[in-house]
Amino acid sequence: MKNLIKAQLYQISRTRVYYLVFITLMMLAVLFGAVEYLNGTDNLEEWQKLTASDFATRMEMVVSIAMMGIAFFAAFFCADDFSDKTVNYEMMSGKLRKQTYFSRASVTIVLCTIFGLVMVFTSLGISFMLTGWGDSVPFSAAAARILLLAFPFIRVSCLFVMIAYFIKRAGFAFLTDYMIFAVSNMIKGADDESGVLTVFSTVGTLMRYKEWHIFGLESPVEMVYTPMPEAGFIIRCILVSLAVGALYLLLGYNFFHTDDLK
């Protein structure tokens, strides 16, 4: 399995299109990090300058784009080898299906999770370099919320791995991922008190800061944010993300184990 992981990493490192997609997505992250600075003021107070801590409270779009990148990489890392029969050759060389499946799945999950975190932190870092941090939320709280995104990123990576093995065509797998993403975004507003019913509701709860407006007759309006989500939600986020992700992987393996690879 170690050799299969090395081969997968080597193949990824030699594929130029992955670099192009990665650079494009990182440029988008930089753009989103700079756009608040370019806008210059907050909607709440005409002359109130935005800072990186303000940007940290409105990063849902950056996370959504990161998840679309995860969908692309997962689809092509796992399904692209079906088109040139690489998977078949591995079977013929004596490799077990379990080794073939979990070597690709593990590489995909790790790389996709790292990519998602790097993209979100990059966007926030650009905002910090341009505007400073500010005092809307502590940096430790913003960083903790972003790090907790690793668990929904793992969950969604496992889902996209399963879909890639079901469909076995990278382009169609990515299209399916996109359709799931679009439909889930449309219904994520449904009541979900647990915050973990779908991966998108989990991400939304993680990145949505509860806020209050404080104002007086002769004082400017101020916004006060709750730095961290509830401890119960954090526990649910971790446990449910790992459990559901493992279920997706097992379903994908069960299908691949009995598939005729045609």
What digits encode the pLDDT tens for the residues 164-223? 999 999 999 999 999 988 887 776 555 667 788 888 889 988 998 887 655 555 555 566
User: What integer pLDDT is reported at residue 44 of this predicted model?
Assistant: 47
169: tokens are 């065509």
Of the candidate ranges 78-87, 115-124, 210-219, the one whose mean pLDDT is the lowest: 210-219
What's 137-187 look like in SS3?
CCHHHHHHHHHHCHHHHHHHHHHHHHHHHHHCCHHHHHHHHHHHHHHHHHH
- Rounded to the nearest angstrom, the gap between the alpha carbon of residue 201 and the centroid of all alpha carbons in its chain is 13
Mean pLDDT estimate for the chain: 86
Helix (H, G, I), strand (E, B) or coil at 115: helix
CB atoms within 10 A of CB 207: 23
Using a pLDDT cut of 90, give the percent of the chain over it.
56
Q: What's the pLDDT tens digit per position in 134-146?
A: 888 899 999 999 9
Using a pLDDT cut of 70, give the percent of the chain over it.
85
This prediction has a pTM of 0.90
For the chain, the domain total comes to: 1
Q: What's the pLDDT tens digit per position in 40-75?
A: 555 445 445 678 888 898 898 999 999 999 999 999
Helix (H, G, I), strand (E, B) or coil at 224: strand
Expressed as residue numbers, the domain containing 89 is: 2-258
Over residues 108-124, mean pLDDT: 97
Q: Is the pLDDT of residue 260 over 50?
A: yes
User: What integer pLDDT is reported at residue 262 of this predicted model?
Assistant: 64
- Burial label for 51, CB within 10 Å (0-12, 13-18, 19+), is buried
Q: Residue 106: which residues within 8 A CB-CB, separation 6 or more?
A: 5
77: tokens are 């890392």
